[in-house]
Amino acid sequence: MFRGFIKTLEDKNIIKGIEKVVSVKYQIAAYMKKYDGYVLFFKNVKEYESWKVISGVVGSKDVLYLALGTNKDTLYSVVEKAAKKPSKPKMIDSGAFMENKTDSLFDLPILTHYEHDGGPYLTSAIVYAEDIEENVQNVSFHRMMVIDEKHMAIRIVPRHLYQMFKKAKAKNKDLPISIVIGVHPAILISASYPVSYGVNETWVANTLLKNQLRTTSSPINNIEVPAHSEIVIEGKILHDKTAKEGPFVDITGSYDIVREQPIVEVGRIFYRSNPIYHALLPAGREHKILMGLPKEIKIYNLVKNVVPKVYGVNLTSAAGGWLHAVISIQKQADGDAKNAIMAAFTAHPSLKHCVVVDYDIDINNPEDVEWAIATRFQADKDLVIIPNARGSSLDPSADQETLRTTKVGVDATIPLDRNKEHFVRARIPVDVDS
């Protein structure tokens, strides 16, 4: 499936091939930064002659639409419906990733991205784990910093994998995990989507893939993983050892703090012949889409509860796809925009600034949004300020102890008691050939 999707991208001339010999230390990341949003295929990786590296497989929403067979009008509903109606995939006896094996992380082309990184990082790694007490599987993204050829520090926040790890740790047991790299975008989206504990993200992916996903048991830990995976790393999260993790560049493009985090001990690594390593640039568009899309969907749904017509939500790239939102609505009363602002802050507690515009404004065009603020906003009437609210740890300007911040909402919609014609941009009614 992953390779089939790559073939589709090649057939449509969407992939930009990089023929130059490139290093995994900084050089590949530099290309990814320069061509952020493009699908890049690195065919000559220094010191890893048998490997190819691909990036940007979810680096733009246009590519995501292609992967899921959807468009900008149906993307949210397609993903949400899959999360509500997960379907069990068919299991097969063996996976393509079982063709080769190694015992060392150093045999993988793991990238070092930025100058002050704590080390090489797995950034597209999806962790598959099972609850030691319940028949529950969890699938989620986690960054991992390479310590040596057999160990990595894994960043775990208090969500589902953390819950599983805590149960194992309480029993003085390590938590077996299977780490997967190189899968279809539907699996990437499912792994990033916040479903309830007990809902299997692999089943969500199978619904997105119209029941075409095939899974298999991982060779050592016997955990269900996608059969078409490029790489499967069998290991365990040690219950009694930690290491300093970081520095690491997070979604805003600034460095996250260094923390003591659990250690993953690697057992055996399995990978396909002529393997393709999926690289994901921290703070790149692919990172922002995977983190931000689930929040856009949540904002859209909650705003839709208070405003009759919502046209779109954009967590802007410049704010990390996380801290700033632009929402387009068709309001029926002058209080609708402020209600939309409050709903957005409720849906996404990390949100710091929110701008609400009319449906004639392109929320993906910063100049359009700025024009709406310049011509339709009056601070004494249209500004919403929420001081001393809980914000995001990813915002370096917030209080990093309490995470307190000041949130701002901007109503940049046309006042209903004013002549609308005074707020409409003039246009020329004909086109000319270029």
Active site residue 250: yes
* 95 and 242 assigned to the same domain: yes
Model confidence pLDDT, tens digit, residues 301-333:
999 999 989 999 999 999 999 999 999 999 999
Burial (0-12, 13-18, 19+ Cβ within 10 Å), 406: middle
* 263 and 140 assigned to the same domain: yes
Query: Quick one: tokens of 334?
Result: 């002058």
Q: What percent of the chain has pLDDT over 70?
A: 100
At 104 the pLDDT is 97
Nearest to 36 by CA among 279, 250, 229: 279
Task: Considering the candidates 117, 250, 336, 358, report the single residue annotated as catalytic.
Answer: 250
204 and 193 in contact (C-beta within 8 Å)? Answer: yes
Mean pLDDT score of the chain, rounded to an integer? Answer: 95
How does 151-165 read in b/e, with b if 16+ C-beta sit within 10 Å? bbbbbbeeebbeebb
Q: Let me know how long the chain is.
A: 434
At 338 the pLDDT is 97
Does residue 432 register a pLDDT over 90? no
Rg (C-alpha) for the chain, rounded Å, is: 23
At 115 the pLDDT is 96
* 75 and 192 assigned to the same domain: yes
Nearest to 257 by CA among 245, 266, 269: 245
Residue 356 lies in a domain: yes
* 304 and 404 assigned to the same domain: yes
* 259 and 308 assigned to the same domain: no
Q: Looking at the 3D structure of the chain, how many domains does it have?
A: 2
Question: In this structure, what CATH number is given to the domain that contains residue 380?
Answer: 3.40.1670.10
Residue 329 lies in a domain: yes
Model confidence pLDDT, tens digit, residues 5-16:
999 999 999 999
State the average pLDDT over residues 264-281.
97
Model confidence pLDDT, tens digit, residues 73-115:
999 999 999 999 999 999 999 999 999 999 999 999 999 999 9
Residue 228 lies in a domain: yes
Using alpha carbons, list the distances in angstroms from residue 236 to 56, 223, 252, 262. Answer: 29, 12, 30, 10
Does residue 434 register a pLDDT over 70? no
DSSP 71: -
* 256 and 130 assigned to the same domain: yes
Residue 403 banded pLDDT, cuts 50, 70, 90: confident
At 208 the pLDDT is 97
C-alpha 33/C-alpha 26 separation (Å) is 10
Residue 213 banded pLDDT, cuts 50, 70, 90: very high
Domain hosting residue 73, numbered range: 61-273
pTM, full prediction: 0.92
